[in-house]
Structure 1
Amino acid sequence: MQKYASLAHIAYPDLVPSTPTPHTLRHSRAMHLLQAGVNLVYIRDLLGHVSIQTTEIYARADSKLKREALENAFSDLGITEPDVKSWEKDPKLKAFLKSLA
């Protein structure tokens, strides 16, 4: 696993840590299960947590889920084509948004 983590880190140094940790693997797995629509209670059981509050720490929404929620909010308001990509044209805003992660 270290070999592939090192290769991924070389390709994407800002996104991939150079050394994977057990916590990173647990968090990644929890996020993949959440994105697949698995109920948080089942994720809690798979991770071996006693409390659902502990699992909620792992299950923070990622950018894709946040974007989908925003797009759904626009469609609920009757706005068919929101300008959700306007931020991509502003490098300063992009850097600021990335710093929030």
Structure 2
Amino acid sequence: MDHPQIPGPPLLTGASISPHTLRHSKAMHLYEAGVPLPYIRDILGHVDLSTTEIYARASTEAKRKALEAAYQGIVTSDLPEWNHDASLLDWLTNL
């Protein structure tokens, strides 16, 4: 029985991803999901909370939310969706 091909995520063949990159990414995802920093510290095995606080400083999503909350009404829903602009996406892909 033939099964239709289902497109999957982009392949990471040949990508150089270190264990530290995976830890950092998971910590950022946990932080952005609202997991408190002391829990993330414990998961990562950091001794000092200040080591874990880098994730709070680095979170672009948290920065975006803070700016949107401070400047309500400036960013409206009538802005074009950049991720639907095929020519822009092609240009970014070929950088």
TM-score, normalising length: structure 2 = 0.60
Does residue 72 in structure 1 map to residue 69 in structure 2?
Answer: yes
Structure 2 residue 51 is matched with structure 1 residue 54: yes
Q: Which amino acid letter does the alignment assign opposite residue 61 of structure 1?
A: A
Is 1:7 aligned to 2:4, yes or no? Answer: no
Q: Residue 56 of structure 1: CA displacement? A: 1.5
Larger of the two Rg values belongs to structure? 2
Alignment of 1:1-101 (within 5 A): 7-8=11-12, 18-75=15-72, 80=73, 82-83=74-75
- CA contact 1:49–1:55 (8 Å) conserved in 2: yes
Secondary structure, in 3 states, of the residue corresponding to 2:71?
Answer: helix
Query: Unaligned 5+ residue runs, structure 2?
Result: 1-9, 83-95
**How many percent identity over aligned positions?**
55
- List gaps (5 residues or longer) in structure 1: 1-5, 11-17, 89-101
Q: Normalized per residue, which structure has more helix?
A: 1
Q: Alpha carbon RMSD of aligned pairs, Å?
A: 2.8
1:42/1:7 Cα in 2 relative to 1: closer, same or farther (>3 Å)? same
Scaled by the length of structure 1, the TM-score of the pair is 0.57
Aligned amino acid, residue 41 of structure 1: P
Paired residue total: 71
SS in 2 for 1:7: coil
Q: Could you give the per-residue CA deviations for residues 35-58 of structure 1, whole angstroms, max 9, x where no partner exists?
A: 110000000001011100111124
